[in-house]
Amino acid sequence: MTEPVRKKKTAILQTCRRLHRHRISIGFCAALAAVLAGTFAVVDRSTAEPKPDPRGLGVREISVTATPIPTFDRTDSSRHKFGKLTFLGGLRLSSPEKSFGGWSGLAIDPDGRGLIAVSDAGLWMTARLGHEDGRPATFGDVRTGPLKALSGSPLGRERDRDAEAVELVAGTSNNGKLLIAFEQNHRIGRFDIGPDGVAPPTSYIRPDRSSGTMDGLKGFEAMTLLTKGRYRDSVIAIAERLHDSNGDHTGWFWTGSTANAFTLTDIDGYDITGMAELPGGDLVLLERRFNWLEGVKMRLRRVALAELKPGAKIEGEVLLEATMAQDIDNMEGLAIHQDHAGSAILTLISDDNFNQLFQRTILLQFKMQAGEGEQAVVR
């Protein structure tokens, strides 16, 4: 056993001992540590399975099994309130298809039923989400296909097809317009989607000099379109991990062809993995932190649209923080829609790194009551 492997095994066992206090089987964790298969490799891509090559795949229907996740807290099934949000339920999604997984970006139709996800292997997926008693219950009509280049051919090189975020900017996931953000070859593309799936891009937004220093695997991970306020119709993106001289996260919003930089206070070293707009125009960020001693953590943070301007430093308001005491995985995609009562419904999806033996694709839903937390804290 090499020294790096020995250290990872020790770290996993230490994490398991802490989890044992939450009634999670230490024997189960120890077994995983023993096989050293990257139990908590949620952000360590060196341990992930090889990504599928989508170039030989056409648009097709696939079978996906949805297993309910009734509770969020692993030790208290009666608990539903977490921070400022209420847990509605979730689904564990699995498929025999080797191309299923790696879902890094998520967008949802205004009715909360249709959705589209994109993977860092260069695939898109559309589906219909069904509910029972207000909880996610079914996941059907699933179709997938390859994302395409300007030429109309499927994206080829792995660095070109690393899709990390998607936003539905008009219509629905069956007939509408999308923005899709990519890292490695950093860019944000405009795409149409219709009955035949996602069409080739119509144009791209490229990073300017200030964003040109992004790490290949830490680029445009969080992206959406502003539909309210003075910067309406501006695309906004935040790098997964690009810190300024003060250690804060870097983001941009585009007015015309101008990229306007701003910063977001780094809180405890989390990466930024997703972003979506609330009905009133404020933004919610999805954040994730991982290390070998504590496993994976997740945060949802709200930022006020009113404070967004070139050069702004925004801190925001934490809505929810979750650890391995809750039912989370490598949460990367975030979408928001509004229910009939006016409440914002937040939908999250995880990226399993195509490591289906030790990671999961899960979909979680939370509700923010109408009018709750109207003001974000900005410093």
Q: Rounded to a whole number, what is the distance in angstroms from the first to the last CA of the chain?
A: 49
Task: Name the DSSP class of 217.
Answer: T
| Nearest-angstrom CA–CA distance, 241 and 272 | 7
What distances in angstroms separate CA 224 from CA 137, 188, 266, 334, one per listed residue?
A: 27, 10, 20, 10
Residue 11's pLDDT is 53
Strand partners, 361: 93
Reading phi first (left if > 0) and then psi (alpha if -120 to 50, else beta), residue 152 is in: left
What distances in angstroms separate CA 261 from CA 215, 240, 244, 284, one per listed residue?
A: 17, 15, 11, 18
Cβ–Cβ under 8 Å, residues 165 and 118? yes
* Single-letter code of the amino acid located at 215: D
Share of the chain above pLDDT 70, in %: 82
Residue 204's pLDDT is 95
Residue 118's pLDDT is 99
Cβ–Cβ under 8 Å, residues 10 and 60? no
Q: Which of 141, 191, 137 has the alpha carbon at shortest distance from 163?
A: 191
- Give the global pTM: 0.87
Checking if the pLDDT of 138 tops 70, the result is yes
Checking if the pLDDT of 49 tops 90, the result is no
Rounded (to 5) percent helix, strand, coil in the chain:
10, 45, 40
Span 66-97, pLDDT tens digits? 999 999 999 999 999 999 999 999 999 999 99
Pick the most confident of 209-218, 224-233, 350-359: 224-233
Q: Which residues contact 273 (CB under 8 A, 6 or more apart)?
A: 104, 221, 222, 240, 286, 287, 288, 331, 332, 333, 334
